[in-house]
Every structure is written in structure tokens, then in C-alpha cells.
Amino acid sequence: MAALVNSFRNVLYRNSSVIGRTFTRTAAVGVYSNPRKHRVQQILLPESTSILPSLLQKRLYSHGEPLSLDIIRDRVLLVLKLYDKVDADKLKLDSHFINDLGLDSLDHVEVIMAMEDEFGFEIPDGDAEKLLRPCDIIRYIGDRQEVYE
């Protein structure tokens, strides 16, 4: 039995390149000569239609809606209300995160990260340490986004 397995393995090893070339060629011919492909192209693309414009990619960027201090205030308060450790009844613009709302330093970092996600820019650690009230965050984002009112 072992001799039969060895001889079969040797035959496969010697002919592996032939088997590989045949399989590759057969697969390529099958894909290349697919008659359904031409029929689909005739149905979807008339003769006068060029494929080139559809292959060109365009990227269109735009700025978000223009921000005002009212919009920034509403978004900041919404993010803070949705944070599970903040009591919405105690939340005011002048509420201190640690003293009034009872957040610890890790919660403060999570709040700052939520603000970064909401407004789409990174707040450096040095600035984040100074943002201890919602009004501080609103003023900082307004200055950063150049909102003047």
C-alpha cells in the first residue's frame, strides 16, 4: 500500500506543472469566451456608450453645515446627556465635570474623546485638561472652528 501511495505521489509531482498549466489555461479560456458576458454588455451598454467615463472616479468633499454657537451648544449638551454617567438633571453649561457631575478623570477623558468624535478633530491633551465645564468645551470648539457671534 505504501508503495502505491509513493508511486502516485511521484506521478503527481512529475506532472504538477502540466496539470497546473492545463488548469490555468482552461480557466482563462472559460472566462474569456463567456458568451453571456457579450450579451449582457449589449443589453446594458449600447454601441455609442463609452465605458471610459464610468471608470473615472470622482471624489467630492464638502464642509459640514456652518456652525454657530447655538448648534455647538446643542451638540455638546446632547453628547453629554447621552453619556451614561452624567445625570441630565444636574447638567448645566456651568456644571463642573468632577465637582458637580461626579465624573472621575477617566470619565473626563471619555467625554473629551466623545467630543472629538462628534466634531471631527483631535483635542490635544494640554487643552483637554483645561476643558472642565460644558461652556469651556463650547468656547474651545467655537474658537477652533472659527465661529464668531
Instruction: Establish whether 127 is a catalytic residue.
Output: no
Select which of 70, 74, 87, 104 is catalytic. 104
Chain center to CA of 32: 36
The residues carrying an active-site annotation are: 104
